[in-house]
Amino acid sequence: MLILGVETSCDETGLALLELDTPDQASTPQAYRPPSARLLAQALHSQVDLHRLYGGVVPELASRDHLLRLMPLLEGVLREADRDLQDIKLIGVTQGPGLAGALLVGCSFAYGLAAAIDCPVTPVHHLEGHLLSPLFGVDSLAFPFLALLVSGGHSQLLQVSGVGEYELLGETIDDAAGEAFDKSAQLLGLGYPGGPEIARLAQTGRAGRFALPRPLLGRPTLDLSFAGLKTAVLTQVKRAGGTAGLSDVDKADIAAEAQQAIVDVLVAKSMAAVKQTGAQRLVVAGGVSANQLLRHQLDAACSKLKVSVHYPPISLCTDNGVMIAWAAGLRAALGDRGSAAGAFAVRPRWPLSERRLSSALA
Ligand code: KG4
Ligand code: ZN
């Protein structure tokens, strides 16, 4: 079954064509075998250059750019996969959460296309896309697992019992982990997005010279908090008389400490969740899961607790169309084959718990 994935929830236009091998026997969430799938083509246009000037995503510019990119990218993936529009049997599209205008552009495109070629649409929850991306191309990852989902807009710890079976254990009470990277980078006068910039600068810096807080670290809760970290970075910058008063060494040292503080909190809370749930497997996903320090420290902590840890390939950590096609495919393999294109509403805020597979199948 050929699946088109469409992602436009923020500042990346992502499309992918995935050929899903429909399993002979329907899998069930209780006895789960991921279907095999081949990625025939994918296209990703990043709007980073468009938004860099403003230090963050400008929603209206994002919507307009998605509108410009979608058709040429679709033509590109069809050409690369050597397929026709009519070959597409299912369209998975990010329907939320995200920027309302950006989601509207992607959904209008997907639902319009589905109506034209008479194929069903599966509304995909963006975080479900991230969450299931480490299952792509592997056959050894079984449910249940604990998931650490860390992106620019969300930071959550979830118990995942199957596709569509997500229980929230803890989440950020203010800024997301990616946001903490982005805001710290902005305060240091670095580029956008801040995560890769902080990580790059931190390589030459020394953590510990500037002391930054590890919010909620010693508390029993599995919730996270990063707003205090941003304020502490701001205090250090002000103390130096502004960004211009910081030397390159100062900036690198603050970047190293900020990265270390975020990683310390994420690792400690993940391990607390492992102990609390008795999880055997940890899945880490979302843009921040590309961070190498986070990966090294989680690898070490998980090996101590004899827990396996799984990450998506680096190319699937940040937003992309592949994870959206894949999430739609995993649901399809379990019987949720979407619905005929008709009226739709985007869900800028959308609790993941509403994506229960059983409700879709009812
Ligand atoms: O998942 P994603 O592409 O978009 C959202 O759904 O939000 O995540 C983007 C976030 C940004 O905050 C970005 O700074 C962060 O992921 N990020 C990183 C790294 N690469 C991207 N953070 C830390 N280290 C990285 N290497
Ligand atoms: Zn994302």
Q: Cβ of 154: how many Cβ atoms within 10 Å? A: 21
Query: CB within 6 Å of ligand 1 — which residues?
Result: 10, 151-153, 178, 181-182, 193-196, 199, 286-288, 290-291, 318-319
CA 8 to CA 23: how far, in whole Å? 29
| Residue of 122, 117, 95 whose CA lies nearest to 7 | 95
Closest-lying ligand 1 atom to the alpha carbon of residue 130? 1
Q: Please report which ligand is nearest the Cα atom of 181.
A: 1
Which ligand sits nearest to residue 7's alpha carbon?
A: 2
Residues 6+ apart with CB under 8 A from 162: 29, 30, 32, 143, 144, 357
**Given this model, what pLDDT does residue 102 score?**
98
Distance 238 CA to ligand 2 centre (A): 32
Check the CA dihedral 230-232-238-242 and report its sign.
Answer: negative
Distance CA 269, CA 274 (A): 9
Cα–Cα distance, 194 to 242 (Å, whole number): 18
- From residue 328, alpha-carbon distances to 37, 107, 188, 195 in Å are 12, 14, 40, 28
Residue 306 is given by DSSP the state: T
- Give the relative orientation of helices 177-187 and 248-277 as an angle to the nearest 10 degrees: 170
State the pTM of this model: 0.96
Give the chain's domains with CATH numbers. 2-135+316-361 (3.30.420.40), 145-311 (3.30.420.40)
Each residue's pLDDT expressed in tens, for the chain with a length of 362 residues:
999 999 999 999 999 999 999 765 566 655 677 889 999 999 999 999 999 988 889 999 999 999 999 999 999 999 999 999 999 999 999 999 999 999 999 999 999 999 999 999 999 999 999 999 999 988 778 899 999 999 999 999 999 999 999 999 999 999 999 999 999 999 999 988 999 999 999 999 999 999 999 999 989 999 999 999 999 999 999 999 999 999 999 999 999 999 999 999 999 999 999 999 999 999 999 999 999 999 999 999 999 999 999 999 999 999 999 999 999 999 999 999 999 999 999 999 999 999 999 888 87
Q: What is the CA(22)–ligand 1 centre distance, in A?
A: 33
Q: Which residues surround ligand 2, an ion (CB under 5 A)?
A: 151, 319
Counting ligands in written order, the one closest to the CA of 44 is 1
Residue nearest to atom 10 of ligand 1 (CA): 152
